[in-house]
Amino acid sequence: MSGLRHPLTVPRGIALMMNIVIGAGLLALPGLAVRQAGDHAFLGWVLCALASLPLLGAFILLGRRYPNAGGIAHYADVGFGRRGYVAASFLLLGAVLFGLPSIALTGGHYLAALTGLPPYATGLMLLACATLLHLAPSEAVSRVNSVMAVTITLAVVGLAIAGLAFAGAAADGGAQGGVGPLIPEEISLSRAAAPFMMLFFAFTGWEIAANTAEEFRNPRRDFPLAMLASYAVTVALYLAIAYLAQRLDLGGRYETAFATIARASLGAAGETAVALLAGTIILANLAGAIWAVSRLVFSLSREGVLPEVFARTRGGSPWVAVMTTALALAAVIGASGAGLFRLDWMLALSGQNFLILYGVAAMALFRVGRNLLERMLAVGVGLLALALVLAQGLAIAYPLALVALGILVAELRAGRLAPSSAPLP
């Protein structure tokens, strides 16, 4: 027996995936997109939403066909064998090692004004709360994730409604509006695409959610439904806030557009409300990501890559994997607070690894695809991942070191590794 339970229904899966995907991007990116693209910012969001659909399709196909706690790493195993599995696992762990602390620090910055503590301290507090949540049975954790997702959705919808009402009142009173109409009269694809790389990372997270497929009660049916529904709700929330950021006068405060919308529509209390909402969003983001990453650590132990202790479960939760994940993330947050790691550097390394992993998933899908349509989807995802990597620029040393370490570990643990899941030729 795997030791994992199957607490995820479609509604709980939707909630968990939304908690993994919706994070710091919702808080800062709408205003930054307006600064970069002006009246084409909303179109930039639409462009990113459409571009992320092929990625989502690849994860749906692989996840429903190969539901496993290893996620992308398991797909690499299916496509390329044990070395591929371990190398992809280390790439993913290398991505989240810097990506999740960055998310915690973002929440820390929002809450620092309320607590009077430095951002790294409030970031550690958020991480601790998310970790303690996972020491409860997985059934209870899935329920709490659902409550947080509903709370965040209702709060963002409420903010959007208040912002729309304020925008309407401002227009009736002749007040100055934002940067222009929702759809400009003359559309420039180059302007709409200008913030693409920045906005694209608001649509990442479903690759981590792939690690949850094994815990759905009916993965073949429920996992794709949860993926598609969470995508639809997330895109709707993003577009609502992007619309407000473009229609309201942000007064040059692009980095804090979320707070500006709340301040304009709710007054001084809006800033406090946004800080608390930001903390809740980041807490939910961390809780969802820890769920998924700890399952990868659990999978690595179950497959013989890591020591058996990491596969211990209690109440259906791999508690040793959870605690190990949290301690590693806390160490990076502490190092960042000490000035050893810069936030932009951490985000760049994390994003780079995720882009490479998209390419790994595409190659695996091409290898195991059962028809021409699936292989065409794999080619499309692979080309998109390659284009994004080239656009961002590649710091090759970090991913190469992780791949080399993964292959070395695979060789050293060869006698302990479970048989490969690679398909027969």
Give the pLDDT of residue 275. 78
- Using alpha carbons, select from 10, 15, 406, 395 the residue that is nearest to residue 220: 10
Give the lowest-confidence range in 106-120, 168-182, 210-224, 364-378. 168-182
Residue 89 to residue 383: CA distance in whole angstroms: 22
Arithmetic mean of pLDDT, 146-172: 72
Arithmetic mean of pLDDT, 72-99: 91
Average pLDDT score over the chain = 84
CB 232 within 8 A of CB 20: no
Residue 390 to residue 372: CA distance in whole angstroms: 27
**Confidence grade of residue 19 (pLDDT, cut at 50, 70, 90):** confident
Residue 109 to residue 214: CA distance in whole angstroms: 35
DSSP sequence for 271-333: HHHHHHHHHHHHHHHHHHHHHHHHHHHHHHHHTTSS-GGGG--BTTB-HHHHHHHHHHHHHHH
Confidence (pTM): 0.82
176 has a pLDDT exceeding 50 = no
Residue 37 to residue 40: CA distance in whole angstroms: 5
> For residue 1, with 0-12 CB atoms within 10 Å meaning exposed, 13-18 middle and 19 or more buried, which class applies?
exposed
Residue 343 to residue 352: CA distance in whole angstroms: 14
Spell out the residues 6+ positions from residue 230 whose beta carbon is closer than 8 angstroms to its own. 13, 14, 17, 18, 21, 206, 209
CB 282 within 8 A of CB 126: yes
**Confidence grade of residue 422 (pLDDT, cut at 50, 70, 90):** low
Burial 143-171 (b: 16+ CB within 10 A, else e): ebbbebbeebbebbeebbebbbebbeebe
Residue 231 to residue 54: CA distance in whole angstroms: 12
Domains of the chain: 10-412 (1.20.1740.10)
Give the pLDDT of residue 255. 64
424 has a pLDDT exceeding 80 = no
CA 335 and chain centroid, separation: 22
Structure tokens that stand for 71 in this block: 């996620």
| Higher-confidence position of 350 and 223 | 223
CB 226 within 8 A of CB 216: yes
330 has a pLDDT exceeding 90 = yes
**Confidence grade of residue 20 (pLDDT, cut at 50, 70, 90):** confident
Structure tokens that stand for 91 in this block: 């790439």
Structure tokens that stand for 345 in this block: 């550097």
**Confidence grade of residue 323 (pLDDT, cut at 50, 70, 90):** very high
CB 70 within 8 A of CB 298: no
229 has a pLDDT exceeding 90 = yes
- Using alpha carbons, select from 246, 249, 251, 261 the residue that is nearest to residue 183: 246
Structure tokens that stand for 168 in this block: 């309407």
Residue 287 to residue 112: CA distance in whole angstroms: 20
% of residues, the chain, pLDDT over 90: 31
Arithmetic mean of pLDDT, 75-92: 91
Q: Where are the alpha helices (DSSP H) in 178-267?
A: 189-193, 196-200, 206-209, 219-247, 257-266
Give the three-class secondary structure for 189: helix
Strand partners, 317: 314
